[in-house]
Amino acid sequence: MPYTKVNGVRLYYEIAGEGTPLVMAHGLSLDHAMWEPQVAAFSDRYQTITYDNRGHGLSEAPPQGYSIEVFAEDLYGLLRFLGVERVSLMGLSMGGRIALRFVLSHPEMVRALILVDAQSQAPSPEQMSAFAKVAELAEAGKMREAVDHLYGLPFMSGLSEKRPEWVKRHKAKLVRWSPVGLAWSTRAIMRMASLTDRLQEIRVPTLAIVGERDTAYIPFAERYQRTIPQCKKVVIPGATHMTNLEEPELFNTVLQNFLEGLPS
């Protein structure tokens, strides 16, 4: 299984296909496997790179050192290790936050940016309360309760409705992960410094994808379209937060059209 040590932490990654690199950063409490529909669809034309953030999946969960900035620098270290110089970078939710931080810190490495159901700042007070509960339960070692609480939140309802077996399998895997990793990653989102005032600095073609029912994230997609000079917004009908898994065929079509329209 492919691992490398980045910033003192052992990270798991997978590479499939050849061609222009397409990197996919997963969301909180998820792992590289959330991108399976996209790896299957795009690895015949692109070099797909998926990985597990610290504290997630098969990667190491250190006792400290979690922030959006650190996650972004972990990705930078991974790409340097792989010898990858320029990528199309896609991130969902927490992964979108990581992608935003990465493109602002390392603009020369990003060919195109895909922000999926992503916020550019810390959560709203309502979201903050929900995330605090997840972190507290995980810190108390109550992983099953933390996972049930997180996946019972309204913005995750579409995934449970449309992919119940996937959710069941993933939750069974997730409860065995490190409580420290889930707790500190959740708090990293809660402590995120706002990047909203820096959006106009992003100078690469950008695609903002958001679910029609992901009401807390729609305003951010609209702001990206207004503020990032080369940004296009696409709303996925009927989807909530996990658009790539809830509506994979439509999602893949939208992504393919965007990637094929990029300058060579």
Q: Is 110 exposed, middle or buried (0-12, 13-18, 19+ CB in 10 A)?
A: buried
Amino acid identity of residue 174, one-letter, is L
Q: What is the CATH number of the domain that holds 233?
A: 3.40.50.1820
- Tell the residue number behind the tokens 């410094």, with chain if given: 193
20 located within any domain:
yes
- Whether the pTM exceeds 0.95: the reply is yes
Q: Which tens digit of pLDDT belongs to each residue from 96-116? A: 999 999 999 999 999 999 999
Residue 206, beta-bridge partner list: 113, 231
73 located within any domain:
yes
Q: pLDDT at residue 1 above 90?
A: no
For residue 46, the model assigns a pLDDT of 98
166 located within any domain:
no
Domain count of the fold of the chain:
1
34 located within any domain:
yes
Asked if residue 179 lies in contact with residue 137, where contact means CB atoms within 8 angstroms, the answer is no
For residue 155, the model assigns a pLDDT of 86
Pairing of strands 87-92, 9-16: unpaired
Q: Which tens digit of pLDDT belongs to each residue from 69-84? A: 999 999 999 999 999 9
> Token pair for residue 142?
């109550």
Mean pLDDT (the chain) is 97
Q: pLDDT at residue 167 above 90?
A: yes
pLDDT band at 264, cuts 50/70/90? confident
Could you report how far apart the first and last alpha carbons of the chain are, in Å?
Answer: 33
